């Protein structure tokens, strides 16, 4: 079954700790995205990548880092510099080209201990 897999589903972080959220897709999509959702708000773009070994900052990139070493993988690291990391994190992918809908994984909920 083709799809996007995010792991873990729930993650807890201690103060001052970096944590990495996994996102893997087997849809052969070129583009991948990371979003953050807070209660009562829409999704906000953190980082995106159009091709391997290249990525761009989104609207709220501060305190986050990413890598794109393989087409199918786009891990997100939430660093200790992110002062308010508690949120629901969503990874998406899409084919490259105009007017392509993004398809989402089921998310990772990150909480601070």
Q: In terms of CB distance, is 16 or 39 closer to other proteins?
A: 39
DSSP string across 73-100: B--EEE-TT-S---EEEEEEEE-SSTT-
Q: In terms of CB distance, is 20 or 56 closer to other proteins?
A: 56
Provide the binding-site residues for other proteins, judged by CB under 8 A: 4, 6, 31, 33, 35, 40-45, 48, 50, 56, 58, 90, 92, 94, 96, 98-107, 109
Taking the complex as a whole, the smallest distance from the CB of residue 70 to other proteins amounts, in Å, to: 19
Q: In terms of CB distance, is 10 or 16 closer to other proteins?
A: 10
Taking the complex as a whole, the smallest distance from the CB of residue 88 to other proteins amounts, in Å, to: 8
Taking the complex as a whole, the smallest distance from the CB of residue 10 to other proteins amounts, in Å, to: 10
| Beta strand extents in the chain (DSSP E only) | 4-7, 10-13, 19-25, 31-37, 43-51, 54-57, 64-66, 76-78, 87-94, 103-104, 108-112
Q: In terms of CB distance, is 48 or 74 closer to other proteins?
A: 48
Report CA torsion sign: 79, 81, 85, 88.
Answer: negative
Taking the complex as a whole, the smallest distance from the CB of residue 43 to other proteins amounts, in Å, to: 4
Q: Is residue 23 within 8 Å of 75, Cβ to Cβ? A: yes
């Amino acid at each position: 079954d083709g799809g996007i897999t995010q792991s873990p589903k729930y993650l807890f972080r201690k103060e001052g700790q970096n944590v990495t959220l996994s996102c893997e897709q087997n849809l052969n999509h070129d583009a991948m995205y990371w979003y953050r959702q807070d209660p009562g708000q829409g999704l906000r773009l953190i980082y995106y990548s159009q091709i391997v070994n290249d990525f761009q900052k989104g609207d709220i990139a501060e305190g986050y880092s990413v890598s794109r070493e393989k087409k199918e993988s786009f891990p997100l690291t939430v660093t200790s510099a992110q002062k308010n990391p508690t949120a629901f994190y969503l990874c998406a992918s899409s084919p490259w080209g105009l007017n392509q809908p993004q398809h989402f994984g089921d998310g990772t909920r990150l909480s601070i201990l």
